[in-house]
Homo-oligomer: A and B are copies of this chain.
Amino acid sequence: MEILKQRILKDGQALGIGILKVDSFLNHQLDVGLLNEIGKEFHDRFSDVEITKILTIEASGIGIACMTALHFNVPVVFAKKSEPSTMTDGAYEAEVFSFTKNKNYIVRVSRNFLDKEDKVLIIDDFLAKGGALQGLEEIVRQSGAKLVGAGIVIEKAFQEGGKALREKGVRIESLAVIQSIKDNDIKFY
């Protein structure tokens, strides 16, 4: 997606080796116009399949998922990283390893909002080592729903997450695929 790649080159910052900071438009400040274009693009790429629900993970996936859901006209469900006092009807749970924080955490989705009739598109901002996406895939599996695919805004292809998930048969559409980040030089495929 050309406007996304141009925006990453213009406003993204390579921090050391392999870390890309895009907090001016994607995951702290949100350019909602760009998110809307991203949502349209996901809708185009997955226009060949039926989707009943969009699944993401708090917090930075939520804005992108909402803008995408607007084009599909389906609800968003976001996995929670803490257990709210109002989640009283049981939950699907998966353990996610955060490479950034070097620890495991649990993500949860209420059993009320995913079931075997659902056809689920996962949406997230980044795919690097694949921890979050694997956790969401596990939750979809537990629910009995069909995982239609995953729409990722930025994939770091030099880390192994995308490869591992594609080998498991997950269809992944990434809008910007990064080959390398080094010395403030960002290379796309």
Contact = CB atoms under 8 A, between A and B. Distances in A.
B100 A78 contact: no
Copies of the protein in its oligomer: 2
A121 interface: no
B76 A30 contact: yes
Interface stretch (A56-64, A148-156, A172-180): A56-64
Nearest to A70: B32
A58 B58 CA distance: 8
B76 A59 contact: no
A44 interface: no
Q: Is the interface of A mostly helix, strand, loop or mixed?
A: mixed
Nearest to A76: B30
A63 B123 CA distance: 14
B59 A78 contact: yes
A186 B28 CA distance: 35
Nearest to A67: B66
Contact of A36 (B24, B28, B63, B70): B70
A76 B34 CA distance: 12
Contacts of A31: 75
Contact of A66 (B30, B74, B113): B30
Given A21-B88, A28-B84, A33-B73, 20 more contacts: A19-B86, A21-B86, A28-B78, A28-B87, A29-B76, A29-B77, A29-B112, A29-B113, A30-B62, A30-B69, A30-B77, A32-B69, A35-B66, A58-B59, A62-B62, A63-B63, A63-B66, A63-B76, A66-B67, A85-B100
Interface of A: 15, 19, 21, 23-25, 28-33, 35-36, 58-59, 62-63, 65-67, 69-70, 73-78, 80, 84-88, 100, 109-110, 112-113
